[in-house]
Structure 1
Amino acid sequence: MPVPEIEAEERSLQMPTRTRFRASKRVWTRRVAKLLLLIVLVPLLLTLVYRPGFVHPVSTLMLADLVTFKGYDRRWVPLEEMGQVGPVSIMMSEDAKFCAHGGVDWGEMRAVVNDFMDGENPRGASTISMQTVKNLFLTNGRSFFRKAVEVPLALYFDAVMPKRRVMEIYLNIAEWGPGIYGLEAASQHYFGRPARDLTRKQAALLAVTLPNPLVRNPAKPSAQLSRLANRIERRARASGAYIGCIKTTG
């Protein structure tokens, strides 16, 4: 009695080479499409998983440290227990319009595109929402392809998550040095105190370290880093209504 699998194999061998190639191409196209769909669905589903406050997400860099047996220092702290000066300083340094936009600062994004079209070096336009999805789901490499993926993810993430939760996740997964993740671990490492006890100056120094945490050291700031910190400290003092969406009583 003929076996169906053997018959199918025999029929495929009898096909002309071009026909077999087309059939194989269709199979691989379907497989690639399924893989791409899976890649898209994973961040969307994980965003829903990460919404409850008792879930403590990890970043792709933290996972890489685990896989390579480097380990890391991350001490999860709820936003309301971080105090005020740390979150406010970081918001004013990284994304002053965080409370106003829906995940993407379109004005800054248009400026970046215009700079690129004019042949200038593009400036940073990543919001805290964009940096959060990058840290959670993407790599650190710089490319317009990554940015193209980052933008819709940030819009979705910001629509699903309350602003306070976005900020809480970001402040617990941002990298502040080799193997140092989150505001609490950074505060303890560099200044020997919990985040809620940071001075305004210390908080500003941690904030201006974020753009380049592998090079900048907030505990031993250069003159330039100190000047940047002074500017952020002034902005934080005058933040007013800008910080309404993350304001705490702690």
Structure 2
Amino acid sequence: MNPQRPVNSFRNLTQPPRPRPKAAHGASQRLQKTGRWQQARRFMRERPLLERVYWFCVKAFLWLFFGSIGYVVVLKYVPVWVTPLIVSRWIDTMGTDENSHVYKKWRSYDELSKEAALAVVASEDQAFPTHWGFDFDEIQDAIKENQYRKRPRGASTISQQVAKNVFLWNGRSYIRKGLEVYFTALIELIWGKKRILEVYLNVAETGPMTFGLEAASVRYYKHPASSLSRSEAARIAAVLPNPRLFSISNPSSYIQRRTRQISRQMRALGGQRYIRNL
């Protein structure tokens, strides 16, 4: 009969108990987030009115988000007949002696003078063929200049002006500026440069109740925009910063000087070759 082997009590007493492995840091964070999410859901369920408001806001946001993308896709192929700016100008004439007739006629990019397209790019946004909707160099220059200028200088690209005119309202606010950034990115991604310039040439305000190059050319030069000369196109581009103050038919000395400057810029850019590959 074999005697029972004695237990090594000394080894058991001296060896400390092995600690339990701690949960990983990422796992603990996930558990905390899950717990907070469950608390938030419980908080919402205990307040039915707040829960309905929450889901209404979520659904409204999704409808607006996907609806805006769908609207941008549609306007890639459909002429833009009406913009918030046109409606605003028309409302301003109601109850006044001003002419309330809207002069506007859509023309495709191929039907417009390329001198007019080049004049607008030379005047408003010379980096248009290469940027992605925002000219950050111009923005930085404008910020520096506006520190000592009485009237702030803008740095909006043609893409930003199209986003503002077609989709948004007039005014200055962080909400409108944020939406302008959003729609600028959308049209750059979905439309492309040629379509953006085509829309701009058709919706830009070119005179009192006058929108687009075709309407301006017929009203002030008595011929279609397809036959605009360089000097005529440059004069239209010269009044774009403030078409309600400056006149195409009766240009001031400032507009005449600016017209010559734009013509020189058009030659310096290399002529119509500059916008050939939009």
| TM-score, reference length from structure 2 | 0.71
2:90, 2:209 within 8 Å by CA — same for their partners in 1?
A: no
Identity %: 34
Q: Distance in 1 between matches of 2:243 and 2:172?
A: 16
Residue 67 of structure 1 and its aligned partner are, at CA, apart by 7.2
The structure showing larger relative contact order (alpha-carbon pairs under 8 Å, at least 6 residues apart) is 1
The correspondence of residues 148-227 of structure 1 with structure 2, limited to 5 A, is 148-227=178-257
SS in 1 for 2:248: coil
Superposed CA offset, 1:17-56 (max 9, x none): xx9xx6444433443444444444433211111122xx11
In structure 2, the CA distance between the partners of 1:25 and 1:111, relative to structure 1 (3 Å rule), is farther
In structure 2, the CA distance between the partners of 1:226 and 1:33, relative to structure 1 (3 Å rule), is farther
Counterpart of 1:31, as a letter, is: F
Query: 5+ residue gaps in structure 1?
Result: 1-18
Aligned to 2:79: 56
Q: Distance in 1 between matches of 2:235 and 2:267?
A: 14
Superposed CA offset, 1:160-213 (max 9, x none): 112111111111111112321111001111111111222222111100111111
For residue 81 of structure 1, the aligned residue among 111, 135, 144 is: 111
For residue 42 of structure 1, the aligned residue among 52, 67, 77 is: 67
Residue 91 of structure 1 and its aligned partner are, at CA, apart by 1.0
Provide the alpha-carbon RMSD of the alignment. Answer: 2.7
Question: Which of the pair has more CA radius of gyration?
Answer: 2
For residue 27 of structure 1, the aligned residue among 32, 38, 52 is: 52
The correspondence of residues 103-114 of structure 1 with structure 2, limited to 5 A, is 103-113=133-143
Q: Distance in 1 between matches of 2:54 and 2:152?
A: 35
- Does 1:92 pair with 2:116? no
Aligned to 1:129: 159
Aligned to 1:3: none
SS in 2 for 1:245: coil
Q: Distance in 2 between matches of 1:244 and 1:25?
A: 56
1:97, 1:242 within 8 Å by CA — same for their partners in 2?
A: no
Aligned length: 225
Mean CA deviation greater in 216-225 or 67-76: 67-76
Q: Distance in 1 between matches of 2:177 and 2:161?
A: 10
Residue 114 of structure 1 and its aligned partner are, at CA, apart by 5.0
